[in-house]
Structure 1
Amino acid sequence: MNAIILVGGQGMRLRPLTAHRHKSLVPVANRPAISHLFEWLRANGVDRVVLALGQQNEDLAEAFPAGSVAGLEIVPVFEQGRLESGGAIRNAVEEAKIEERFLVLNGDVFVEFALEKAIAEHERTQAKLTLALARVDDPSPFGVAVTDASGRVTGFVEKPPRASAPSNLANAGAWIFEREIVGQIPAGAVRVEEMLFPSLVVRGNAVCGYSIEGLWADIGTPARYLELNIALARRMADGPGKVASFVGPGCVVAETASIEESVLWEGGTVGEGAVVRRSVLADGVRIGAGAQVDGLVAGRGAIVPEGSVVPAGTVLHPGSTYHQDG
């Protein structure tokens, strides 16, 4: 089976973390985010992965050359100009010569559901398109689907207010396509979520919603990225009371420092007596001795001087230094 991973975006919502890394290469549980998708796809019977890349994504293509992922054929396809999700899917299908049913994944999601069960439901309902749907507490940041009792999608609402959301079934960024509907994607830069999906419903095509189980996350923002890493760290902890964090290779953390529910990328330093809580620190970030950091998002090479008290919500851009007010 073929899968297309949409990785052409610039990761603007993840800035400053993506200023020097493609969003699919940011570390999740100390390895590139996209590697988790590769692992899931391979375990679920997919053998060919088409990377739908933007013009500036050579770094991602170079990170996973042909033969670099055991059990998967990796096929890079580059866009000629910005195509959005619809144009990217159409371009990938044509360039990679996909002639049968295929799967599409957003490159910034983490999924664990059983693909075989989703395909079985897709076939049972004779759907032309099946959308994986994740139940969420707050649907307002997502596009949500409205389904009838049989699971057929009857409508879509983009980012509804929480109080008036028609459902809590968020578009999980994983879609099963029948090849024949690709021709209904308009030419050019279009979003399937806004153009194709609603038009299929209006035209009476069978669009199925499949409610998924297991851990799901959209890591498109620093807050969601951190929550996924915390969830995975808790799962991997070898005993109760362990602090859920990931510390990347080459980091130097003083024995008296404390790191809680945080993600440190490569080559960072945390000084004596420093406390880092619920923060994401990109490559080479330096936290000085005695500093207290809570809810910081720091780009590559940022510096927090010793003794600083950094309030929650602070963002440090690459190479910048935190300055204590007063």
Structure 2
Amino acid sequence: MTSADVRAALLAGGLGERMGRLTDDTCKPLVPYAASCRLLDFSMANAVRSGIPEVVLLSMHRERDLVDYLTAHWDGAGIRVNFGPHDGLVRSAGAPPGAPLPPRPPESGTADALLNNAEYLFAPGARDVLVQHADHVYTFDYGPMVEAHRRAGADVTIGVQRIERRFVHLFGMVEVDADLKVRRLVEKPADPTSDLVFTAFCLFRTEVLEEVLTELAALGEDGWRHDISRDVLPRMIAEGRHVLAYPISGYWADIGTVERYHLEQMKLLDRPGPMPAGHLPRTLTGAPPTYVPRLGSLVGGDVDVPDGATVRSSLLFPGCVVEPGAEVERSVVLPGARVRSGVSLREAVAAAGEDVTSPRTGLADLEPA
């Protein structure tokens, strides 16, 4: 199944406030991950893997950083990145890297991002629009999902997966019938009754998405919540449109909090790992990280663990330094961080560029205030 007539929409406008200090100096999609890449690289790699010809960037916060990063690493590398209202400016001499970009219209939610970019998303040539998020970690070929979506004649097909019940309140809880038709979607339920969640990537028939967004926009600013999960999909379900669930069997994670950021990276150390190092995007360095059995750790290509340093079950990112006499256990050490001699780091994250000079256990130092 070809994806040549699918256009992707990459939602990358969130502030990442639940990521605490990890997003003090960068936007959430550019937070480093897996000692190999940054969060948004997974969705971009999946689009390339699936043969999708174009992705439209839907961004707001630190947009210049996103544009420069995507230009350097992805645009023209098997896919075209459409920068929406900035596309012509970015591709000309009028806005060199680092130069300010004109502000976009304000947005109250993910559906506003689609509306504000309607002319790019709904331009001729796309039979379906794939909505992606720039903070999801998974390796996936959308081709079979496109095939199932079209074979069923669905108006929208949403990815679904079972997760640990204690995390369901962070997601959209989904109820389906025996034929995988979605009967109910509840965003961030206070009292979850199911462990089936919406993976937040979904495939819309282009004309249906445009029609539903137009209907919602007609309700006025205060008539809806401007959100895909709270408005667009529930409206389609209520109207009896064909909303199909597509089970995702492989590894998938939404990195929404500091706790999830740490926990999901610890899972990468399992043997066999949920995502082999060779399958990870490689944007931090040209080489994948190496799993070092004697350390039980994933180590970036340019990282040297010196004699006298103790490293166990951790991720050491390219450009980090662990000094002799330091002890790092079940921790994540980001690019440019230095763990000083005599310091112990346990169940923690050393932020990018941080100089760790005192012992630390846990994630409290990174949590939002």
TM-score, normalization by structure 1:
0.85
Q: Which amino acid aligns with 1:151?
A: L
Q: Please state which structure has a larger fraction of its residues in helix.
A: 2
Return closer, same or farther for 1:314/1:286 CA change in 2, 3 Å cut-off: farther
Aligned length: 312
1:95 alignment partner in structure 2: 120
Distance 1:115 1:304 in 2: 41
Offset of 1:266 from its aligned partner?
4.9
Distance 2:179 2:245 in 1: 9
Q: Deviations over 1:56-82 (max 9, x none)?
A: 311110112287441101111364222
Distance 1:258 1:69 in 2: 42
Return closer, same or farther for 1:166/1:137 CA change in 2, 3 Å cut-off: same
Offset of 1:223 from its aligned partner?
2.7
Return closer, same or farther for 1:232/1:313 CA change in 2, 3 Å cut-off: closer
2:212 alignment partner in structure 1: 184
Offset of 1:303 from its aligned partner?
3.1
Q: Out of 9, 12, 16, which is 1:11 matched to?
A: 16
Distance 2:298 2:353 in 1: 20
Q: Deviations over 1:232-286 (max 9, x none)?
A: 454336676651334475x564322123333344543322221112223344333
Written as runs of structure 1 = structure 2, the 5 A alignment for 1:1-326 is: 1-29=6-34, 30-54=36-60, 56-65=62-71, 68-77=75-84, 79-99=104-124, 100-138=127-165, 139-160=168-189, 165-180=192-207, 181-185=209-213, 186-187=216-217, 190-233=226-269, 234=273, 235-236=276-277, 243-247=296-300, 249=302, 253-305=305-357, 308-315=358-365
1:257–1:271 contact (8 Å) kept in structure 2? yes
Return closer, same or farther for 1:190/1:73 CA change in 2, 3 Å cut-off: same
Q: Deviations over 1:191-244 (max 9, x none)?
A: 111111111111111111111121111122223223443444543366766513
- Structure 2 gap segments, 5+ residues each: 1-5, 86-103, 278-289
Q: Which has the higher contact order (CA 8 A, sep 6+)?
A: 2
Return closer, same or farther for 1:221/1:259 CA change in 2, 3 Å cut-off: farther
Distance 2:142 2:366 in 1: 39
Distance 1:265 1:55 in 2: 25
TM-score, normalization by structure 2:
0.76
Q: Deviations over 1:8-34 (max 9, x none)?
A: 112222221121122222222312222
Deviates more, 1:235-244 or 1:252-261: 235-244
Q: Which amino acid aligns with 2:359?
A: V
1:5–1:50 contact (8 Å) kept in structure 2? yes
Q: Which amino acid aligns with 2:211?
A: G
Q: Which amino acid aligns with 1:91?
A: N
